[in-house]
Amino acid sequence: MPLFPLETRVAIAHPNCCGGIVKGDRLAREVLHHHLLHRFTSTLTVPAASSLPSASTFGQSTPASTTALPAASSPASASSTASTTSTKALPSVSSLTSAPTPPATSSARRPSTSDNGPSNNSRGGPIDGLVNVISSKGCGSSGATEKVTPLSGPNGHINFLTCGINGTGWNPPLINIKGIVTVDLSAVAYQNDSAFTNCQDFVATFEQYGSQYGIPAILLASFAMQESSCIPSTVGGAGEQGLMQLTSDKCVGAPNGDCMDDFNIGAGAMFFSQLLDENDGDLLSSIGHYNGWFQGMTYANATAAARGGDCREQNNLDYLHQFLNGWCQNINAYEHNPPLGEYFNLNVCN
């Protein structure tokens, strides 16, 4: 049953979403989703049409409105969705009945593979259907598996993707866009059992901006599914807008202030492109940044809100696995049974 009546015309932002630098309600949205672990509830959607932006860099004018798209926040910004900072102040202390502890399986043995160091194909595509790791950066084998499992998939084991979280801090292996395994969005979006059914009306737009910014359309659609379930009317608790859940500073220039669907995709693609540039093509750092992660983030950092403050402000520690081995493989990360992940650190908020 929907949480809000139709006349609100607003949907709660999706679980596991919304970047982390405006995380005030991001994880509240995660707890509410009706698919994740069968405990969450989706809400009604009312898509809206809008003009398309076409700026290739921040600050250029958009033909649709002749106003400029905003410059994306820097990695140190603490005021925009889809970015984060390592100096984020912890929430104010409040009583909590329990707090998450690192999962007992976090040191589980990963299937052996051959990518313990720089790849012989360090700038090319996947190798034998598995992720091409440029440098493991001391994280060992990728543990990649051809089939998706609760803990692994063709883009690596969750412990590899979250390398360092349970120790001195997150220090992700170096992987670039060309090295990951993905499906083609246009080839799967219209299938009867597609994980991207909600995105069907926007496939052409994802393809357009993916081509413009050199980002596979499946990645942009995966952000939209992870952030808003590809529901354009979604508004986050901190005002994050639309499919890609962008804050107002990234929506400047939206025609008539409408930053919900097509314009939202263009602005989100532009922002992620900037993240890739800032991280020298480091894909894991860029995806993590979009969800509020930062290099050096520890389990304690990510779950601090569960020990004091708003429990729902935690980072979703299963995000990278759900994104790369779920959505990017045309697998619904919220409906997979058994669930994708091993931390499920948001469960303590229930």
- Please state, in angstroms and as integers, the Cα–Cα distance from residue 314 to each residue in 10, 263, 324, following that order: 24, 29, 20
131: in domain: yes
Q: Give the pLDDT confidence score for residue 47 in this predicted structure.
A: 40
User: What is the structure's pLDDT at 201?
Assistant: 97
Give the phi and the psi of residue 221 in degrees, each rounded to 5: -65, -35
* Greatest distance between any 2 Cα atoms in the chain: 57
Average pLDDT over residues 167-174: 97
Question: What is the C-alpha to C-alpha distance for residues 282 and 179, in angstroms, rounded to an integer?
Answer: 11
258 lies in some domain: yes
Is 141 a residue whose pLDDT tops 70? yes
Domain carrying residue 219: 7-50+79-89+122-350
Q: Let me know if residue 55 belongs to a domain.
A: no
> How far, in Å, CA of 3 to CA of 44, rounded?
8
What is the enclosing helix (H) or strand (E) of 249? Answer: none
Contact predicate 267/246, CB 8 Å: yes
Mean pLDDT of 154-165: 98
Residue reference for tokens 């304690």: 300
How many domains does one find in the chain? 1
Query: What's the mean pLDDT in 108-117?
Result: 40
pLDDT grade for 126, boundaries at 50, 70 and 90 = very high
Could you read off the pLDDT of 195-231 as tens digits, one per residue?
999 999 999 999 999 999 999 999 999 999 999 999 9
Measured in degrees and rounded to the nearest 5, phi and psi for residue 345 equal -70, -10
In a domain, 102, yes or no: no
- Flag whether 190 is in a domain: yes
Residue 18 domain-assigned (yes or no): yes
Which two tokens mark 297?
């983030």
Q: What is the pLDDT of residues 270-306, one digit of tens each?
A: 999 999 999 999 999 999 999 889 999 999 999 998 9
Lowest mean pLDDT among 114-118, 137-141, 186-190: 114-118
pLDDT computed for residue 258 by the predictor: 87
Q: What pLDDT, on a 0 to 100 scale, did the predictor assign at position 336?
A: 95
Whether residue 184 is contained in a domain is answered as yes
Does a structural domain hold residue 64? no
- Which residues are bridge partners to 241 per DSSP? 235, 246
Query: What is the H or E stretch that residue 49 is in?
Result: none
